[in-house]
Amino acid sequence: MTTIETEPDLSSSPAPVPHPLPESLDAALRRRLTSLVAHSADAPPVTMRAPFSGLELAELPQSTDADVRAAAERGRSAHHEWAARSVADRAAVFLRLHDLVLDHRDELMDLVQAENGKARRDAFLEVGDIAITCRYYARTAPAALAPVRRGGLIPGLTSVQERRHPKGVVTVISPWNYPLSLAAGDTIPALLAGNAVVQKADNQTALTALFMLDLARQAGVPDDLWQVVLGRGSAIGDALLDVADYVMFTGSTESGRRIAREAGERLVDCSLELGGKNAMLVLDDADLDRTVEGAVRACFSSSGQLCISIERLYVADAIHDEFVRRFVAAVAGLTMGATYDFSAQMGSLTSADQVEAVQAHVDDAVAKGATVLHGGRPRPDLGPFFYEPTVLTDVVDGMECFREETFGPVVAIQRVSGDDEAVHLANDTRYGLNASVWSRSRARGTAVAARLRAGTVNVNEAYAAAWGSIDAPMGGMGDSGLGRRHGVGGLLKYTEAQTIARQRLFNLAPPLERLGDEGFAEVMTTSLRLLKRIGWR
């Protein structure tokens, strides 16, 4: 039995607090969105609640194993007609979706906040991210998916063409922490490549995925081409992998390993973005004003529930004390709140499970000698799952938060003697997802970045520069995953490459009987030497 991720358990939520849902998310909209789930009446529904308040968000229908398989069959039928359409025609659909996303910016931000609990400024970044994704792949796909001429065996006589065909049915398994970016961001290139998508959205943030599904259908995506199923991994995990011609998964390293094993057994390819224990290196020539602001965003955006957020800060000895003073003051000045406007800089965690996990890491560190410079406690006065942004020092090996991902608003600061020690400590991890380097020197910052074992490294930025530069690949090394999203590779991974070679005039065999195999070998040897001499590839 395959288990794909443990979803937040809100069944034991504290009593609701008075943070009403925005008017845009009325009961009629929520009912309409839940009607889009691919499901039968066999599985009991699940009630999900808003992290800000504990108020009921939706009663979500749950899909069964049979529902997943039926959705895949419908998708497989729909994908043949979709793939037969020109790439330019498919791209036009996603340019329309780009506009719809921006037109519905406020409703999308409301949904992301209501389901996840993050601050509005963080929710807006997800809206912008999906608009960029639509535009980039719509503009890129026609050229990237067009047939390409390749060099042939014999110049002028062997013509070769590379073609790209869609995989078929892509299973996308998206998490709760970035309900818009990670639900739609991986689906868009899969669809543009000509595939159908069966997506398992997380129950906690299913309405956001369903809202995007609704917008996509308004833009022209056929009804059966993108379908959303809901359910625990223990109930539908096997079916999700059985129906897949490709698997795109974002989640924990443990679940990623299981998916990779089972995909390998079926000889199905997969892309996995997994955990991170990301480091920021503050070199002794860093601009402290810029660095402190960037470090606060790096550590506490989306309340730290971000795979590429920073959990380790290595600060050069020469500026350590001044940096810490400014950083702690900036963290203490963060505005927390359960607001559906831009007045709060940091929102809530998403579930009781998250609060408990964060508190366990902090308590363990303190019990073993760590010092809390700020934070370190829940804030139930603000809402059920609020937790203060927390800064630790004196964190050493043996503490849970030293090597394991906290996935919350907690960062540990460590003094380092110089660049070499900072690089060594940053690389001393089984993860390798994201990193950040701060230096006034372009050459020095880039040189240090190149020494880090991480899939993306930002110089003088936290994470947004690399993530938002969607033309470049994004993904992890080590236990942070396999494969990449973004860039042309993030589109082509959803395709099968086919080589078509056409031979002219004569077969690839001795052309004259009297030449024979030995004579043919001599002629070919001379030809190969000539091709090298003239610079032929």
Total residues found in the chain within this entry = 537
pLDDT grade, residue 131 (50/70/90)?
very high
pLDDT score for 218:
98
Q: Give the 3-state secondary structure of residue 493.
A: coil
pLDDT in tens, 279-307: 999 999 999 999 999 999 999 999 999 99
On whether the CB atoms of residues 228 and 210 are closer than 8 A, the answer is yes
- Closest by CA to 520, choosing from 508, 529, 530, is 508
Q: Which residue has the higher pLDDT, 514 or 169?
A: 169
pLDDT confidence bin for 156, thresholds 50/70/90: confident
Q: What Cα–Cα distance (Å) separates residue 392 from each residue in 291, 374, 428, 436?
A: 18, 7, 19, 19
pLDDT at 6: 44
**DSSP type of residue 55:** -
Q: Where are the domains of the chain?
A: 28-146+165-274+488-495, 278-473, 501-533
CA distance 335 to 222: 43
Asked if the model's pLDDT at residue 515 lies above 90, the reply is no
The span from the CA of 283 to the CA of 389, in Å, is 24
What number is the average pLDDT over the span 21-42? 93
Mean pLDDT (whole number) for 443-472: 97
Residue 273 catalytic?
yes
Q: Which phi and psi angles does 256 have, rounded to 5°?
A: -60, -40
What rounded mean pLDDT belongs to the chain?
A: 94
Find the mean pLDDT for residues 224-246.
96
The confidence score (pLDDT) of residue 513 equals: 63
Given the residues 115, 273, 388, 461, select the one marked as catalytic: 273
Give residue-wise pLDDT tens across range 480-498.
Answer: 999 999 999 999 999 999 9
Helix (H) or strand (E) holding 96: helix 87-103
Determine how β-strand 56-62 pairs with β-strand 246-250: unpaired
pLDDT range class, residue 155, cuts 50, 70, 90: confident
134 is a catalytic site residue: no
**Separation CA 14–CA 468 (nearest Å):** 37
Q: Per-residue pLDDT tens for 33-62?
A: 999 999 998 889 999 999 999 999 999 999
Q: Do domains 28-146+165-274+488-495 and 278-473 have the same CATH topology?
A: no
Task: Say how far apart CA 253 and CA 237 lie, in whole Å.
Answer: 16
Amino acid identity of residue 202, one-letter, is D
The active-site residue out of 134, 270, 307, 401 is 307
* CA nearest to 478, candidates 253, 236, 314: 253
Instruction: Check residue 16 and give its pLDDT.
Output: 47
* Collapsed DSSP state (helix, strand, coil) of residue 522: helix
CA distance 382 to 404: 28
Task: Say how many C-beta atoms besides its own lie within 10 A of residue 236's C-beta.
Answer: 25
What pLDDT shows up at residue 509? 74
**Alpha-carbon distances of 81 from 85, 168, 225, 492, 498, rounded to whole Å:** 7, 12, 10, 20, 20
For 101-137, b where at least 16 C-beta lie within 10 A, e where not — what string? beebeebbbbbbbbbbbbbbbbbbbbbebbbbbbbbb
Predicted local distance difference test score (pLDDT) of residue 56: 92
Q: Report the DSSP pairing between strands 434-438 and 278-282.
A: parallel
**529 or 16: whose pLDDT is higher?**
529
Please write the tens of the pLDDT for every residue from 175-217.
Answer: 999 999 999 999 999 999 999 999 999 999 999 999 999 999 9
Residues 413-423 pLDDT 10s: 999 999 999 99
Tokens of 143: 């050229």
What is the arrangement of strands in the sheet containing 169-173, beginning at the earlier edge strand?
226-229, 196-200, 169-173, 246-250, 269-273, 481-482
Domain 28-146+165-274+488-495 listed as CATH 3.40.605.10: yes
pTM score above 0.85: yes
Q: What fold, for 278-473?
A: Aldehyde Dehydrogenase; Chain A, domain 2 (3.40.309)
